[in-house]
Amino acid sequence: MQIRTLLAGSAMLAVLAGCATGTSQQGQPGASEQAEQPTVYSGTLPCRSCDGIDLEVQLMGDEDATADERTFELQAEYRNHPENPPAEEYDGQWEVIDGAAEDPEATVYELTPEGEGQIYYFQKLDANTLELIDPQLRRFENGETLRLQRQQ
């Protein structure tokens, strides 16, 4: 709940102020299959009432996987927030959207949490960078502060 408020506030502040694919290990005949490893992105988003929101997104599956195979986990922790809220965790399904408001060639990931929670949109800038964008698939003016980097 807190992340929705803080992300919405960050988004409004941004407006006022001016992919990765997962790797899948195919088992060979006679060999045991290894578990698929998630593709992990992390970064720190701005926060009006704290030192930042540490955000980590783990994507399972890749852009070519079926909808059931594309799942995510999102964790958010607040740095030095006066109310000291607990870390938030969401999981659900992610989809690929072709095109964004300013770039019809862009790839956008739509993360839909199970149960309560808002839908998140991340534009894939390159294989190592996702940027949080608004629900109308538009980038914010201070988009460089809303980026997550792929972890190796």
Structure tokens at 125: 């800038």
Average pLDDT of the segment spanning 102-113: 96
Higher pLDDT, 112 or 67: 112
| Between residues 119 and 29, the one the model is more confident about | 119
Tell me whether residue 23 is in a domain. Answer: no
pTM for the predicted model, two decimal places: 0.76
Q: Which residues contact 71 (CB under 8 A, 6 or more apart)?
A: 59, 60, 61, 91, 92, 93, 94
Average pLDDT of the residues in 119-130: 97
Q: Is residue 29 part of a domain?
A: no
Domain assignment of residue 126, yes or no? yes
Domain contains 32? no
Of 133, 106, 105, 107, the C-alpha closest to 10 is: 133
Residue 27 lies in a domain: no
**Under DSSP, is residue 133 helix (H, G, I), strand (E, B) or coil?**
strand
DSSP code, position 37: B
Which tokens in the block code for residue 151? 């972890």
Number of domains in the chain: 1
**Mean pLDDT computed over 118-133:** 96
28 domain residue, yes or no: no
CA distances from 50 to 9, 54, 69, 83, 108 (A): 12, 11, 35, 9, 28
| pLDDT digits 0-9 by tens, 34-81 | 457 999 999 999 999 999 999 999 999 999 999 899 999 999 999 999
Band of the pLDDT at 148, cuts 50, 70, 90? very high
In a domain, 26, yes or no: no
Distance CA 103, CA 138 (A): 9
In which domain, by residue range, is 112 found? 2-17+38-150
Residue 22 binned pLDDT confidence (cut-offs 50, 70, 90):
very low
Considering Cα of 98, then 101, then 103, then 109, what sign does the dihedral take?
negative
Residue 117 in tokens: 């929670």
Q: Quick check: 9 pLDDT over 90?
A: no
pLDDT at 11: 39
Res 147: pLDDT: 98
CATH number of the domain within which 103 lies = 2.40.128.640
Q: Please check whether residue 33 lies inside any domain of the structure.
A: no
Helices (H), 1-152: 2-16
pLDDT at 109 over 80: yes
| Greatest C-alpha distance within the chain | 59
